[in-house]
Amino acid sequence: MNSPAAAAAAPALPSSARPSGALPTDSLASGYWQDLATPDFARVDPARTIALLPVAAIEQHGPHLPLCTDALINQAVVSRALAHLPASASVLVLPALNVGDSLEHTAFPGTLSADMEALLGLWLSVGRGVARAGVRKLVIFNSHGGQRAHVDLAALRLRVAHGLLVARAHSFSFGVPPGLFEADELAHGLHGGAVETSLVMHLRPDLVRTPALADFQSLGATLARRGGLLGAEKPVGMGWMTQDLNPHGACGDARAASADKGERLLEHLAGCLVQLLAEMEAMPLPSASGSASASESASPRASA
């Protein structure tokens, strides 16, 4: 059902796209955006329908994991979450944008990388299409640590330009089930370590080069042991190329990985995404305009 404010704020579909007669009454079931046809969008409920944009990377993951690691993880989490969604949910999964900004991995052959400006432009264009279809809620689901800043920027730009409510969801922000991995590994196994290797072992064991599994020591772990301020990521991070952290392009102990850990982690990540989607569904829509009306309504004069 449409709240009056949301209905007024949403970009209107051309009248020819609406079935003749009354406003839509049945809701749009969850599924893949590209499987719909134009008339289906007449059933978008701006307050409830959520578009989900998977963004990943095709980049080197050390000598033991495939280039598709981030894309594989992303696709698996999304499809499992989709299977767990309640029937009442209306979540539309957009085409996965699997080439990301992997500048820090470009010294290693096989890495594909889009420049930040090009990538952001593409994401914003997709967001514009989402808004044009009458959808006001978007979750950007990102599985590549090197493009966190891009996701943050896209979310704010889409909020301002199109009045979208955008969640900046990173798979690595969902945490892990307690006891599954060592704290040190979680802190420094940033890339191709036990976490990612476990997931690929579960999802595509045929793509794991088992003889190449190793403990890829990271400069970040060395700096952390010194206890200073400067680290790879924190307390104060630095702009690093992967080879600065480890010459093999991986960080973390891949020997500590197992398919069983990967399966449990995947279930956890999918559960987190389902929870996030429910929280997004419950969120009220922002006003359709940019920052001006929001700051006005927050002022004492406007609220009096």
Residues lying near Zn ion in the complex (CB under 5 A) are found at 69-70
Q: How far is the CB of 118 from Zn ion (least distance, A)?
A: 21
Q: How far is the CB of 153 from Zn ion (least distance, A)?
A: 21
Phi, psi of 181 (to 5 degrees): -135, 155
Tokens of 290: 């940019």
Q: How far is the CB of 82 from Zn ion (least distance, A)?
A: 22
Nearer Cβ to Zn ion, position 70 or 281? Answer: 70
Residue 248 to residue 263: CA distance in whole angstroms: 26
Nearer Cβ to Zn ion, position 19 or 237? Answer: 237
Q: Which of 196, 178, 180 is nearest to 252 (CA)?
A: 196
Q: How far is the CB of 76 from Zn ion (least distance, A)?
A: 13
Cβ-proximal residue to Zn ion, closest one: 70
Nearer Cβ to Zn ion, position 45 or 70? Answer: 70
Nearer Cβ to Zn ion, position 44 or 68? Answer: 68
- Render the burial of 183-206: b for 16+ CB within 10 Å, e for the rest: eebbbbbbbbbbbbbbbbbbbeee
Residue 147 DSSP class: G
Burial of 267 (0-12, 13-18, 19+ CB in 10 A): middle
Q: How far is the CB of 195 from Zn ion (least distance, A)?
A: 9
235 cis-preceded (ω within 30 degrees of 0): yes
Nearer Cβ to Zn ion, position 71 or 155? Answer: 71
Nearer Cβ to Zn ion, position 32 or 172? Answer: 172
Q: Which residues pair with 253 in a beta bridge?
A: 215
Q: How far is the CB of 191 from Zn ion (least distance, A)?
A: 6
Q: Which of 59, 153, 72, 57 is nearest to 109 (CA)?
A: 59
